[in-house]
Amino acid sequence: MMKLNKNLIQEFLWRGLIHNTTYSKSKKIKNEKITLYTGFDPTYKSFHIGNLVAIIMLIHFKRSGNKIISVIGGGTGMIGDPSGKNSERILIKKESLQKNIKNIKKQLSFFLDSNEILNNYEWFKKTLFLDFAKDIGKYFTINYMLSKDSIKKRIYKKNSISFTEFTYQLFQAYDFLYLYKKKNCSLQIGGSDQWGNITSGIELIRKKLGIKVNGLTFPLITKLDGSKFGKTEKGENIWIDPNLTSPYEFYQFWINISDDQAKKYIKIYTFLKKEEIKEIIFFHEKNPNLKLIQKKIASEITIFVHGKKIFEKIKFISNILFKKEKILTNLSKNDIKSIYENIPHKNLFIDINFKIPILDLLVNKSNFIKSKKEAIRHLKCNSILINKKIIKENFFLKKNDLISESYVLLQKGKKNFFMIKFNFLFLTHL
């Protein structure tokens, strides 16, 4: 029988993957095989890079010989977790919830075996409210439930919280109890905002069964402004669904992170050994302009999420876009099409004898730039390029400017690209 790696906690500590845990951080975990789980509520149709940390943690545990379980919250997703939320969630419609469940189960199946994925609706649908209140609710005092950060923050900020969200911690606690009884699951892991829910499950199992189980949370991955990546938050997220964040944009996100972020994320988002990571950081610091850490993370995580074939295509596209030489005219039609499909783009229908002013092209036709005022500022700074050539305010795009007779590449500064494909309307005069 495979054994749990004695140094797993130390490994997680070195990687920066532990925020809170009931395990002693100074001692080794007992040399035994365990079953653990983490949960994902289907509040959106895709995972984002914050969710990937939980998946990576599961894989670390699995590689050390443990049994892992991933629980899709088909039941708890109907309620809504108040953790990290300043206001009441909008309840998800049943049809949307089912679509979300289908999508994230498919995504999970890319990383995990299907028999490692469960749906908590399967046990909640059999649970009567009266039985739940009697058998579970009696183990929790109102004072205990009010002490949780997710509840306190809402109340102290004078934001209301419904009975539905208030009781969420009981349902997550029941998940842990159910999985302990059915699967001998003795550890729950999750993001740092889940600590209150996890400890509720630990407390329920202790009071009801007299058994000690454990919890472990990892730090939340935050955006540059400090806010967390959330499936229902407004603003930009980095999704693993290629229809929401293209593989090219996904790859470029990692290329463009800061050195401080890169040194942190290479430990979290890759399975590279300590010695290899230390060596990459050492050579990076000798010549930071080469972005050795960022490139290594980008390649590792893009292959992990999208596969090696997609990664090779993205690397090819990036090499073309970021070369200073004007090489677009030397590319094949298939290469141009591949670039178009993998970067932000738009399909337009237009008369074959078009003549588009540059401001109209940048703002109205493409929405590449938000306003004409902003576009003019970039044009005056010589930071707007068409097909890798700097252009001025008096530029008009015509058919003979297109690449492969159909495409035009827009560029703002060094890193922002957009492509338009033109489809021509041939007007017949009667």
- Alpha-carbon span 222 to 237, nearest angstrom: 10
pLDDT at residue 327, rounded to an integer: 66
pLDDT at residue 122, rounded to an integer: 95
The angle formed by the CA atoms of residues 144, 218 and 35, to the nearest 5 degrees, is 85
- Alpha-carbon span 410 to 6, nearest angstrom: 53
pLDDT at residue 234, rounded to an integer: 46
pLDDT at residue 28, rounded to an integer: 53
Residue 158 burial class via C-beta count within 10 angstroms: exposed 0-12, middle 13-18, buried 19 and up: exposed
Is residue 114 a contact partner of residue 66, using CB atoms and an 8 Å limit?
Answer: no
Residue 3: φ, ψ to 5°: -110, 155
pLDDT at residue 152, rounded to an integer: 76
pLDDT at residue 29, rounded to an integer: 56
Sign of CA pseudo-dihedral 387, 391, 397, 400: negative
Three-class SS state of 422: strand
First to last CA, the chain: 82
Is residue 49 a contact partner of residue 221, using CB atoms and an 8 Å limit?
Answer: yes
Q: What is the DSSP letter of 291?
A: -
Is residue 389 a contact partner of residue 408, using CB atoms and an 8 Å limit?
Answer: no
User: Alpha carbon of 75 to those of 52, 165, 171: distances in Å?
Assistant: 22, 13, 9
| CB within 8 Å of 325: residues ≥ 6 apart | none
**Residue 191 is encoded by which pair of tokens?**
């993001």
Q: What is the pLDDT along the chain (430 residues), one digit of tens a residue?
A: 334 455 788 899 999 999 999 987 655 555 678 999 999 999 999 999 999 999 999 999 999 999 999 999 999 988 877 676 666 667 788 899 999 999 999 999 999 999 999 999 999 998 888 888 889 989 888 888 888 877 877 776 666 778 888 888 999 999 999 999 999 999 999 999 999 999 999 999 999 999 999 999 999 997 665 566 655 444 568 999 999 999 999 999 999 999 999 999 999 999 999 999 999 999 999 999 999 999 999 999 999 999 999 999 999 898 888 876 556 777 888 889 989 988 999 999 988 888 999 999 999 999 999 999 999 999 999 999 999 999 999 999 999 999 988 999 999 998 899 999 999 876 554 4
- Alpha-carbon span 218 to 222, nearest angstrom: 12
100-128: string of b/e by CB count within 10 Å (b at 16+)?
bbebbbebbeebbeeebbbbbbebbeeee
Sign of CA pseudo-dihedral 60, 63, 66, 71: positive
- Alpha-carbon span 51 to 45, nearest angstrom: 13
